[in-house]
Copies of this chain bind each other. A is one copy, B any other.
Amino acid sequence: MDFLQLDTGAADPLYRQIYLRFRDAITQGLLQPGDRIPAARALALELGLARGTVESAYGLLTAEGYVEARGQAGTVVTPALARHAPVAPTPRHAPAHDNLGDAASTTMPFQMGIPALDAFPRKVWARLAARAVRAMRPQDMIYPPWAGLPELRIAIAAYLQLSRGIDCTPSQVFITNGYRNSMELVTRALLKPGDGVWVEDPGYPPTSDLLREAGMRVAPVAVDGEGVMVSHGIASAPQARAAIVTPGHQSPLCVSLSLPRRLALLDWAAQSGAWIVEDDYDGEYRYVSRPLPALQSLDREGRVLYSGTFSKVLFPAIRLAYIVVSPAQVPRFEEISRTFAASGPTLMQHIVADFMNEGHFARHIQRMRRLYAERREIAAEGLSAVLGKHVRIDPQPGGMHLILRMKGHHTDRAVAARMREHGMSALALSERGVLPHGASALLLAFTNVDTPERARELGKRILKLMA
């Protein structure tokens, strides 16, 4: 067990070090499928550790499928690994087809919805977090206010005013455990089972999945170059009680909802008494001009709920998002956030509030906007240079991914499937909706493509799969 060099001064706890050493030994082939690993008791003795420490590591390896207990015969490296990569107990957070190599590193190339993690100011973050946890007082340990920490609600309201033209008081801002939790609050607060809800098509399938589980009737509405086709929605599902839309950059087509469409949508909502949820998941990231003001800022009738998240501007593991409701809806949302205990851990809310209040947030967004503009260029140029015969890359004003339209005989689904088999992440546009639209394109995030060399190298890997 030469690979088991532990570092007692390291930040990682010992059980995790053992787990990581074994995992690396297995993925690198030092330990082969079928090889026996030492009994926990024996290894603990050898390393001079508590048996529980080794057992925790083994438990993790077992749960993730790296090793298997074989009763009397001891524990062995999972024999099936010879054929395919093991699967973590809950691998569904990635768009599927995670494989071991990539799960062990960071994320897969082109993985959607993941910001440029290398550019996140981790030291500042760690400093604020350490400070917040040291300063923890008894009143920070009781239940946080259900609607969220006042500090954070205030900071968000101020930010939205400045950056998105949204005029709201902190009491209209409700902190949630993430975008899906925001949508859940909306369905609980304003809708009832059986209600029709417009969703964009192509769109973001998790939204439709959530609405269906919540008992709503999902009504897909077509999207064109001006965004969601309001007239199509009115024709096909006039009785809908709500519409969930992405006016900033349509997900996944990246188009902005045109002003006439914005007005038509607001008009429909006002006349039919329906609600509009503006999902502004990455509204900050527009590169060719100033970000557009939010749809909510045009709303005179209090029909728009604005949904924001920290997953894209900070990072997804924070699990904090928010929803801004009209003043008339505040009492109902207070009731619902209390009943379902929305908002998140006090510590996370404190860290984000401090990050915003001390100017790091605005600086980070500025920096990321420049970085993404650059990476988008790099990725588009590198991929075009190599794949130009097969794809045409959409020009687009913002967002976090490229759209590669298929020109030849290849279908987006076939190429995306091949890419996933070969350790890349890829989404096919034709899989993102249910309406027939004939568009065939790959959706590839550029946020983690950091050099021209990397872009061309990835392009070549895709080209090889198309041969």
Contact = CB atoms under 8 A, between A and B. Distances in A.
Interface of A: 11-13, 15-16, 50, 52-53, 55-56, 59-60, 63-64, 88-94, 103, 105-107, 114, 117-118, 120, 122, 125-126, 129-148, 150-151, 153-155, 158, 170-171, 177-181, 184, 188, 193, 206, 209-210, 213-215, 311, 315-320, 334, 336-341, 343-348, 354, 357-359
Contacts of A158: 55-56, 59
B319 A88 contact: no
A337 B12 CA distance: 28
B63 A154 contact: yes
B59 A154 contact: yes
A133 B126 contact: yes
A177 B185 CA distance: 14
A145 B92 CA distance: 7
Contact of A63 (B88, B135, B153): B153
Contact of A52 (B11, B63, B319, B359): B359
Contacts of A125: 133, 136
A92 B180 CA distance: 23
Nearest to A321: B341
B170 A347 contact: no
A59 B357 CA distance: 11
Contacts of A188: 213-214
B143 A317 contact: yes
Given A138-B117, A347-B129, A150 B64 contact: yes
A336 B213 contact: yes
15 contacts: A11-B131, A55-B158, A89-B150, A89-B153, A90-B146, A90-B150, A92-B145, A93-B143, A93-B146, A105-B139, A114-B142, A129-B133, A177-B344, A180-B340, A317-B347
Given A129-B129, A188-B213, A210-B339, A92 B345 contact: no
Contacts of A319: 144, 341, 343-346
Q: Most chain-B CB neighbours within 10 Å: which of A137, A144, A341?
A: A341
A55 B170 CA distance: 13
A209 B341 CA distance: 12
B130 A56 contact: no
A234 to B, nearest CB: 29
Nearest to A213: B339
A358 B13 contact: yes
A189 B107 CA distance: 30
A455 to B, nearest CB: 19
The 7 nearest A-B residue pairs measured at CB? A11-B135, A317-B346, A90-B145, A106-B138, A141-B315, A90-B147, A180-B341
A141 to B, nearest CB: 4
A340 B213 contact: yes
B150 A357 contact: no
Nearest to A113: B143
Given A136-B126, A146-B92, A184-B340, A56 B357 contact: yes
A154 B210 contact: no
B52 A317 contact: no
A317 to B, nearest CB: 4
A23 to B, nearest CB: 12
B142 A60 contact: no
B126 A129 contact: no
Contacts of A184: 340
B13 A90 contact: no
A282 to B, nearest CB: 15
Contact of A339 (B130, B147, B206): B206
Contacts of A143: 93-94, 311, 316-317
A102 B125 CA distance: 32
A240 to B, nearest CB: 20
Contacts of A11: 131-132, 134-135
Contacts of A193: 193, 215
A456 to B, nearest CB: 23
A105 B105 CA distance: 46
A109 to B, nearest CB: 13
A80 B453 CA distance: 66
A268 to B, nearest CB: 28
A344 B345 contact: yes
